[in-house]
A and B are shown apart, each in its own frame.
Chain A
C-alpha cells in the first residue's frame, strides 16, 4: 500500500529542536549515517545543508537573552490585560480575560521550553548557525548525542592536544551558506 512507502530502515533520524520562522518556514536537524542534514522548509520547498561528521570541527552553543526578553514582554502584557480585566469596564472583562489567559499560556510554554541560545557549527571552510537548536536544553541534548558519534568517526581529542593547535576564529555565517530565509529577504528588497 502507498502508506507503507517509507522504508523501515530509516536513513535519517530527527534530532531534537525545531524553529519556525516568522510566519513561514521551519528549520529542523536530522542525523544521517555519515552526516547531519539541516533542512529549511517552507511552502513545500525544502533547502538542504549537509555537514559530514568527519568535517565537523566544533559546535558552540551560547546562551542568549532572547528568551528572557520574550518572558518580560509576555509578563508585561499579562499584567496589563489582567489589570484591565479587573479594573476597567465590566463589559470588556471577557475580552481582557481571554487575552490575559493567552499571554499566561504563552509565558508558561516559553518558561518550560527553557533559555534560548545560538548554536554554531564549524567546519574547515564554513561556520553555520543551526537555527533549529535555539533552545539550550535541545542544543545540549543534541551535542551530547552527537559527541560519541563524531568521536567514533574522528577519534577522541586529548586535553594535551588543545595547546598544539593554532587559533581558529569562529566567524559569522559563511556568505555562500547563509540562511535561505535572509537571502530571500535581501533578494526581495533589491
Chain B
C-alpha cells in the first residue's frame, strides 16, 4: 500500500492499479497510481558469503576465508557472494567496477557527460546576436569540432550533424572576418 503524494494519507486498494485517474479518499486529489510487485518484494540484504569448510574449496580473492562463488567477468578473480557485483548480466569485482567507472568503460555507470557537439553548435550560433564576438568564438568552435570529433557525445546515440553545422557556421564566420580584415588592410596602408 502507498500514500497519496499530496495529503500523505494511505490510498485504498481500489485507487491502486485502477489504470485511470481516481480521487484520493481524503483530499480528493486526482491521481493514478501504478504499483508493481517490487513493492512487495522483501529486501534481499547483503549476502554474507559462505565460509570455507573444506580445504580444497576455492576462496575469494579479497576474502580468502570466504567461499568463491563466481569469477569476475573482467579480471577473472574468484569472488565470494559479498564481493560479486552484478551489472548488465556480468559479475564484477569492486576493483574492476571502480576502473570501469573512472575510465568510462561501463556506460551504465556514467551519470554525466559533456556533449562537445552541442557546445560547439551553441558557440557557433548564439554569438551571432552580438556579431563582433564571433571573431573569438569562431576559431574556438573550429578547434572544439576538430579536437572532440571522436569524443563520445550524448549517451543517446546521435549523428555528428551538430559538429558539421557548427564547423560550417564557424568557417563562414572566419571567412567573413578574413574578408573584412583584407578589405581594411589596403585602406590602412594607403
Q: Please list the residues of chain A having a beta carbon within 8 angstroms of any beta carbon in chain B.
A: 2-7, 10-12, 30, 35, 37, 39, 41, 43-50, 54-63, 118, 120, 122-124, 136, 139-140, 143-144, 146-147, 150-151, 154-157, 159, 161-170
Contact = CB atoms under 8 A, between A and B. Distances in A.
Given A37-B155, A44-B118, A118 B37 contact: no
| Most-contacted residue by chain B among A44, A124, A146 (CB, 10 A) | A44
B110 to A, nearest CB: 7
B40 interface: yes
5 contacts: A62-B6, A63-B30, A122-B2, A162-B1, A167-B1
Interface string B1-36: 111111010100100110101000000011111111
Contacts of A41: 115, 118, 154
B117 to A, nearest CB: 8
Interface residues of chain A: helix, strand, loop or mixed (majority): mixed
A100 B152 CA distance: 46
A42 to B, nearest CB: 10
B160 A57 contact: no
Nearest to B144: A44
B180 interface: no
State which size class the interface on B falls in. 35 or more
A52 to B, nearest CB: 9
B114 A170 contact: no
B128 interface: no
A32 B34 CA distance: 20
Contacts, number: 152
B31 A165 contact: no
A120 B122 CA distance: 32
Nearest to A50: B108
A63 B29 contact: yes
Contacts of B159: 2-6
Contacts of B108: 35, 50
Given A43-B119, A124-B43, A57 B29 contact: no
B157 A10 contact: yes
A144 B3 CA distance: 21
A170 B5 contact: yes
Nearest to B44: A124
Nearest to A162: B13
B27 to A, nearest CB: 10
